[in-house]
Amino acid sequence: MKKICIAGASGLIGKRLVKLLADEGYFVVSLSRDLKKSRKILPHAQEHVLFNSDDFQNAIDGSFAVINLSGASIASKRWSQSYKKIILESRTKTTNALVEAVNKSSNIPKVFVNASAVGIYNDEGDTVITEKSQPGKNFLAEVCKKWEEEAFKLWGKCRVVTARTGIVLDKKGGALAKMLLPFKLFIGGPLGSGNQWMPWIHIEDTVRLYRWVMENESIKGPVNFTAPNPVKMNEFAKVLGKVLKRPSFFKVPSLILRILLGESSVIVLAGQRAIPQKAIDNGFVFKFTHIKEALKDITSKS
């Protein structure tokens, strides 16, 4: 039985990933700073280990894979200077601790999979973005670059993959959960101009991709965790309205979002036409390739 150590698994992706791996016969270890919370939120994990404890080092030593999902939310608060520091350090310091533990291991894990985001890229308008595209220079891009740099310190020691994740769609959390309420209240619509691209991905494909990159020995470096067919915000809102049988023409102006969210408004006002070129080229089969089928699936579930 392969042992998989997952750090920061209490979020949207982590909970689903832990269950998927446990169901498929892996021995899943949750690395957490709050064991009580970990045991409650992640009942499918076979073991719960306190981060940076003696057990932490022992758990990583000899494991097949280490997956790092840690990082403070970028969307839950305005980006004050103090919160920007938290966003960055919650990613880089945790990754550094995991990298050090891997380096100290007698039996180094085969693969280190580190979360990242498509926010590493610039908003290039209609230009298609692949894993070969250049990083941007704004705050989110800098955070992602420094985050990945920590993970790539293991390059040459074990296989390293950085999961540049787009907008994960799930009814129980993330961007879609926040957008559903106004639509259900008949006041839904696009955010900002509506012309920005949305590099979306269904939660089910997200966790399947994590397992795929973990097991596929030919995959290394950055991988875009996005569906093959990104859409613009206008199209997303239109399809969501049709799926929910609700209007979708109540736009939220960019100015209002900038006033409400400050600098963090870039999360919804900018976008990337990112596609998962590496996954496509290496034969990964997505279950949800078009936004309509993804939204139908998610919104039909209780």
- pTM, two decimals, is 0.95
pLDDT tens track of the chain, all 302 residues?
999 999 999 999 999 999 999 999 999 999 999 999 999 999 999 999 999 898 999 999 999 999 999 999 998 888 999 999 999 999 999 999 999 999 999 999 999 999 999 999 999 999 999 999 999 999 999 999 999 999 999 999 999 999 999 999 998 888 888 888 888 888 888 999 999 999 999 999 999 999 999 999 999 999 999 999 999 999 999 999 999 999 888 888 887 778 777 887 888 888 999 999 999 999 999 999 999 999 999 998 75
As a three-state string, the secondary structure of the chain is CCEEEEECCCCHHHHHHHHHHHHCCCEEEEEECCHHHHHHHCCCCCEEEECCCHHHHHHHCCCCEEEECCCCCCCCCCCCHHHHHHHHHHHHHHHHHHHHHHHHCCCCCCEEEEEEEHHHECCCCCCEECCCCCECCCHHHHHHHHHHHHHHHHECCEEEEEEEECEEEECCEHHHHHHHHHHHCCCCCCECCCCCEECEEEHHHHHHHHHHHHHCCCCCEEEEECCCCCEEHHHHHHHHHHHHCCCCCCCECHHHHHHHHHHHHHHHHCCCEECCHHHHHCCCCCCCCCHHHHHHHHHCCC
The CATH-assigned architecture of domain 3-166+199-228 is: 3-Layer(aba) Sandwich (3.40)
